[in-house]
Amino acid sequence: MMSAFGRFTHAVVRAVPRSLATEALRTGSLGELDLPRAQQEHELYVSVLKQRLGLEVLELPADEALPDCVFVEDAAVVCGDTALITRPGAESRRNETVAMKDALTKLGLNIVEMTDESATLDGGDVLFTGREFFVGLSKRTNQRGAEILADAFKDYAVSMVPVQGYLHLKSFCSMAGPDLIAIGSSEAAQKALKIMQQMSDHKYDKLTVPDDLAANCIYMNLPGKGDVLLHCTPEEFPESVKVFEKLKDHMLIPVSNHEKVKVDGALTCCSVLVCKSSV
């Protein structure tokens, strides 16, 4: 069930709509988004998945009516061969799930839909460690959403982690390896980590990086490549990169996220990773 954590064969991504620059939701004020650069950034991201890592990438077309649609992660949670189509917390993003559902259906996954009107869940609040789920309770995700997630993935424990000061749980943490949690240094991040540690029967290692945003990275375990980690670039977070570079066994791939971060996009946000051939 959890033997192959990080093993992926497919990725679902979505192109950057022009409306991203102007209409995308944002929590911070990191400046204006440079659309061409954002698009270029995203293309690079996709090419890493495709060319560098050899994943089969499904690229969904952008939808101008859905400015945030590039952040596909929030629309679905995939674990094993089950995909939970979420009900994003932001009203304006609800329709993003339509295309995602189609794509995942095509991949042959068991689709579970979150139909409960009272439930909200953003994929960005879902941290799957390989052993269990942590679901951030944020502005975008509520308890009901977490319950439905728990129902969809019955094999795993689902623990709740309050998220404060950030958009999503994964705004300051992610998995950097099997049983290895990358976590930011801020108080909020550390507090969340404490909660996760207390809630879990497993002992996770942690990789603490100075910058919260840098803690969002993408771990994969690919045949022939071993441990692969997509992380921030030295230009963005030089100190944090040094931390990642201590992971000697990982194939480290810096991927720029300079523009998308302005609209709360992180590395994990831009793809839904799928492993076909489970079981």
Partner 1 sequence: MTTEVGSETDVKKEPEKVPEAQHQTDPVQTDQPDKPADSDAQPVASAAQPEESRSAEPESPQEESSSPDPSSPPATGGQKKEKGISRFLPPWLKRQKSQSQDQASESAEQPQSLSPKEEEEESEPKAQPDGAGAAPNTEKTEEEKEEKQESRPEEVQLEENEKEEEKSVGSADTQPVREEKEAESEVKERKEEKKEEEQVIQQETSVLSPLRLNKKMKMVVCHVTLLDGSQFSCEVEKRAKGQYLFFEVCEHLNLIEKDYFGLSFKDNAEQRCWLDPTKEIKRQIRNSQWQFAFSVKFYPPDPSQLTEDITRYLLCLQLRQDIASGRLPCSFVTHALLGSYSLQAELGDYDPEEHRLDYISDLQFAPNQTKELEEKVVELHKSHRGMTPAQADAQFLENAKKLSMYGVDLHHAKDSEGVDIMLGVCANGLLIYKDRLRINRFAWPKILKISYKRSNFYIKIRPGEAEQFESTVGFKLPNHRAAKRVWKVCVEHHTFFRLMSPENPTKSKFLTLGSKFRYSGRTQAQTRQASSLIDRPAPYFQRTSSKRISRSLDGAPMVNVSDYSHAVDSALTAGAGENGPALDLNSDSKSPQVEVVEKPDTDVATSVTYESAIEQTDKGGTGAPERKSKLRVQGENIYVRHSNLMLEDLDKTQEDVLKHQASISELKRSFMEATPEPRPSQWDKRLTGSPATTLRLQAQGSTEVKPEVNGQPEFIEVVEETVVIEEVIKAKPRSPAPETPVTVETEVKEDRSLSSDSESEEEEAEYHAQTPSASISVQQIEEEPEEEQELIQQAPPSVVELQPITEAEPADSAPSAEEEQATAQPEEEECTDKDDAPNGHAPAAEAPPPLRAVEEEPPVVNGSVSRVEAELLPQVICCSEPPVVKTEMVTISDTFAAQKTEISTKEVPIVHTETKTITYEAAQLDGNGDGEPGVLMTAQTITSESLCTTTTTHITKTLKGGLSETRIEKRIVITGDSDIDHDQALAQAIKEAKEQHPDMSVTRVVVHKETELAEDED
Residues of the shown chain interacting with partner 1 in the complex, contacts defined by CB under 8 A: 1-2, 80-82, 110, 118, 131-132, 135, 137, 142-144, 146-147, 150-151, 153-160, 162, 194, 198-201, 203, 278-279
* Distance set, CA 219 to CA 7, 116, 126, 230 (Å): 9, 31, 15, 6
Instruction: Pick the catalytic residue from 10, 42, 168, 250.
Output: 168
Q: Nearest CA to 71 among 210, 185, 207, 170?
A: 170
The torsion angles phi and psi of 191, rounded to 5 degrees, stand at: -65, -45
Q: What does the angle CA 132 – CA 134 – CA 140 come to, to the nearest 5 degrees? A: 145
Least distance in Å: CB of 129 to partner 1? 12
Least distance in Å: CB of 174 to partner 1? 20
Least distance in Å: CB of 148 to partner 1? 9
* Dist CA 42 CA 247 (whole Å): 25
Indicate the residue among 15 and 137 with the shorter CB distance to partner 1: 137
Instruction: Pick the catalytic residue from 69, 269, 270, 275.
Output: 269
Helices (H) and strands (E) in the chain, counts: 6, 15
> Could you tell me the two tokens for 275?
């492993």
Q: Nearest CA to 79 among 22, 116, 115, 131?
A: 131
Indicate the residue among 151 and 245 with the shorter CB distance to partner 1: 151
Indicate the residue among 38 and 163 with the shorter CB distance to partner 1: 163
Half-sphere exposure at residue 77, Cβ-oriented, CA atoms within 13 angstroms: 28
Indicate the residue among 1 and 44 with the shorter CB distance to partner 1: 1
Least distance in Å: CB of 83 to partner 1? 12
- Residue 269 among the catalytic residues: yes
- Residue 168 among the catalytic residues: yes
Residues near 89 by Cβ (< 8 Å), separated by ≥ 6?
Answer: 120, 121, 122, 138, 139, 140, 141, 142, 145
Indicate the residue among 116 and 245 with the shorter CB distance to partner 1: 116
Least distance in Å: CB of 41 to partner 1? 34
Instruction: Answer yes or no: are the C-beta atoms of 176 and 229 closer than 8 Å.
Output: yes
Instruction: List active site positions.
Output: 168, 269
